[in-house]
Amino acid sequence: MNGKEIVQKVRQKMKDHHELFARAIPLIASENITSKEVREATLSDFSHRYAEGWPGERVYAGCQHLDEVEFICMDLAKEVFGAKFADVRPISGVVANLVLYSAFTNPGDISMSISIPAGGHISTGPLHTSKGNYMGGTAGAVRGLNVKYIPFDRKGLVIDVEKAEEAIKELKPKLLHFGASVFLFPHPVKQLAPVAKDLGATVTYDAAHVSGLIACGHFQDPLAEGAEAMAFSTHKTMFGPQHGCVVSSNDDEEFTNKIKRATFPGMTSNHHLHNVAGLAIALAEIKEFGKEYGAQVIKNAQSLAKYLETEGFTVVAKDKGYTKSHTLLVDVSPLQEKSGLGKDIEEALEKADIILNRNLLPWDMFEGRNYLNPGGIRMGTSEITRLGMKESEMKEIANFMRRVVIDREDPTKVAKDVNAFRSAYQKLHYCFSSNEDAYKFIEIY
C-alpha cells in the first residue's frame, strides 16, 4: 500500500468502527462516549500545543487561552468533588495513580491495595519476576512499592473490615490505596482511614471507575470520608475524554506541592491540553446533568442484574442487591459445560454485537481458572444509559444475552435483532446538544 492508500485504509477502519458501535450494545464497564462539544475540544488546536508547568507559570509562550481553560477545569473538578485542590494534568488513570505513589511514597515502602482477582487494577499491583523479566503492576514494577493486599471477603465481594484493620496495624503501610476495577460496593474508607493515618499512612483512593458517580453524588464521597487524595480516569462513569486527574481534600502547600511536582516534571511533559479542554466541558455537563445520569446508571445496572437472573444467569452479590455502581459481575462457571467460560462467552456475544469483557471472579484462581478464560463476565451501564436506555431496555438486553449464551441461538441471527433494537438509540443524552448521532464519524476533509 502506498501512503495515500494507508490513509484511506485507516480512515475506512475508523468509519467501520463507528458503524459497529452505532449498531452494537456497548457494555464495557470502563468505557463511555463523549458529547459533540467534548469531541470538538479533542479535535482542536489545543492538541498540537505544549504548556509545561502550572497554568500562569508555563515555560512556553502562546499559553494564555490554554491556561484559562485549565483554571476553569481545575475549579470545576474542585467543585464537583468537594475538593480543595485539583491537578488536571495527569494524562490517564494509571499516570494519576503514579502521581500519588511518587508524591507520598518512596521505593521499597509498603502500600496496600485490592488484589487483581478481588477486582483490583494492574496499576495498583505488585512486582512479579518471571524468567528474569521484571513485570507486574505499576505500583510494584514502576514505583518499586512493596504491595500488600487489603483483605477481601471473596464471597461477599467487599473489603473485610476487621481483617483489614488487623493487617493495617501489622503492616503499617505508607500508603493505603482504596479503589478497584470491579467496584460493586463502596469501600470502607470511613472505618479504615483513621487506623492507617494514625500509623503514619497517607490514605488515597483510585476512583478510575466511579469518578463520574462520585461527581454526581451517587456513590461514596471518599474525600469527605477520610481519603486525602483521589486519582481517577475521566472517561469511564465520567464521560470526559481519555485523561486523568488528582484531587485532594488537603490544600496545605507542602501536600499539594508534592502532587504538583510528581505530576510535572515527574509524570508528564505534555499533558494533552485538548483533553483538559474536553474534561472542562464534561465536568460542566456533569454539573448540569449528573444527578439524573448517575441515578439512572445505577438503576440500569441493578435492573440488568435482576433481569439476567430471571433469564437464568448467576449474577454475583445477589444478597446485597448485586451492585451499587455501574458495574455488574456474572458468574458464568455454572454454564461452562454448555457455553464455555468468560472468554468463550465474550466471543459469542461479540458475534451478536453485544460488547463486554471476560473478568476474573475473586475465587477463580482457587478453582483452577485464570484470566485468559475466567469464570466471569463484567458489564457496565454508563454508555447505554447515555444512549437513553432505561429499565425496560435492560430486560431486552438480558433476553438477547440469554438467547446467545443459554439457548445457544446462532449469534449472527441474534445480531440482527440487536441491531434493530439499537437503531432506536442513536442520540446522546445528558449533554447540551443531544440531537446529534452519538457515533457519527466526524470528517474534517
Ligand X SMILES: Cc1ncc(COP(=O)(O)O)c(C=O)c1O
Q: 268: which 3 cell numbers?
A: 508528564
Biggest CA–CA distance in the chain, Å, is: 64
Task: Rule CB under 6 A: say whether 204 interacts with ligand X.
Answer: no
Question: Judging by DSSP bridges, how do beta strands 202-206 and 110-113 pair with one another?
Answer: unpaired
Task: Rule CB under 6 A: say whether 123 interacts with ligand X.
Answer: yes
Asked if residue 421 lies in contact with residue 388, where contact means CB atoms within 8 angstroms, the answer is no
Task: Rule CB under 6 A: say whether 244 interacts with ligand X.
Answer: yes
Lay out the site mask for ligand X across 30-49 (x = CB under 6 A, - = otherwise). x-------------------
In the list 35, 42, 202, 233, the residue contacting ligand X (rule: CB under 6 A) is 233
Task: Rule CB under 6 A: say whether 180 interacts with ligand X.
Answer: yes
Asked if residue 9 lies in contact with residue 2, where contact means CB atoms within 8 angstroms, the answer is no
Lay out the site mask for ligand X across 303-322 (x = CB under 6 A, - = otherwise). --------------------
Give least dist CB 235 to ligand X, A: 7
Task: For residue 437, give the DSSP letter.
Answer: B
Give least dist CB 209 to ligand X, A: 5
Task: Rule CB under 6 A: say whether 275 interacts with ligand X.
Answer: no
- Segment lying near ligand X (by CB under 6 A), choices 174-182, 255-263, 269-277, 391-399: 174-182
Give least dist CB 420 to ligand X, A: 31
Task: For residue 252, give the DSSP letter.
Answer: -
Q: 420: which 3 cell numbers?
A: 434493530
- Reported as half-sphere exposure (CB side, CA atoms, 13 A), residue 121 has a value of 25
Q: 61: which 3 cell numbers?
A: 509562550
For ligand X, the closer of residues 234 and 302 by Cβ is: 234
**H/E segment holding residue 358:** strand 357-359
Q: DSSP E strands: which ranges in 215-309?
A: 229-233, 244-248
For ligand X, the closer of residues 93 and 342 by Cβ is: 93
Distance between CA atoms of residues 420 and 93, nearest Å: 35
Task: Rule CB under 6 A: say whether 383 interacts with ligand X.
Answer: no
Give least dist CB 224 to ligand X, A: 20
In the list 23, 89, 121, 258, the residue contacting ligand X (rule: CB under 6 A) is 121
The residue type of 58 is R
Task: Rule CB under 6 A: say whether 382 interacts with ligand X.
Answer: no
Between the CA of residue 74 and those of 110, 278, 408, 434, what are the distances in Å?
Answer: 31, 12, 50, 26
Asked if residue 120 lies in contact with residue 159, where contact means CB atoms within 8 angstroms, the answer is no
Lay out the site mask for ligand X across 13-32 (x = CB under 6 A, - = otherwise). -----------------x--
The residue type of 420 is A
Distance between CA atoms of residues 338 and 125, nearest Å: 34
Give least dist CB 393 to ligand X, A: 25
Distance between CA atoms of residues 74 and 65, nearest Å: 14
Asked if residue 194 lies in contact with residue 60, where contact means CB atoms within 8 angstroms, the answer is no
Give least dist CB 383 to ligand X, A: 14
Distance between CA atoms of residues 167 and 111, nearest Å: 12
Give least dist CB 137 to ligand X, A: 10
Name the one residue in this structure whose C-alpha cell is 471476560: 358
Task: Rule CB under 6 A: say whether 181 interacts with ligand X.
Answer: yes
Distance between CA atoms of residues 36 and 415, nearest Å: 28
For ligand X, the closer of residues 97 and 263 by Cβ is: 97
Q: What residues from 81 to 110 belong to the interface with ligand X (CB under 6 A)?
A: 92-94, 97
Alpha-helical segments (H) within 131-237: 138-141, 161-171, 189-198, 211-215, 222-225
Give least dist CB 426 to ligand X, A: 27
Give least dist CB 219 to ligand X, A: 13
Give least dist CB 36 to ligand X, A: 22
Apex CA 393: angle with CA 388 and CA 396, to 5°? Answer: 150
For ligand X, the closer of residues 32 and 35 by Cβ is: 32
Task: Rule CB under 6 A: say whether 137 interacts with ligand X.
Answer: no
For ligand X, the closer of residues 233 and 333 by Cβ is: 233
Alpha-helical segments (H) within 352-409: 382-386, 391-405
Helix (H, G, I), strand (E, B) or coil at 377: strand
In the list 139, 208, 227, 281, the residue contacting ligand X (rule: CB under 6 A) is 208
In the list 179, 186, 240, 374, the residue contacting ligand X (rule: CB under 6 A) is 179
For ligand X, the closer of residues 140 and 411 by Cβ is: 140
For ligand X, the closer of residues 119 and 375 by Cβ is: 119
Give least dist CB 178 to ligand X, A: 10
Q: Which residues bind ligand X (CB under 6 A)?
A: 30, 92-94, 97, 121, 123, 179-181, 206, 208-209, 233, 244
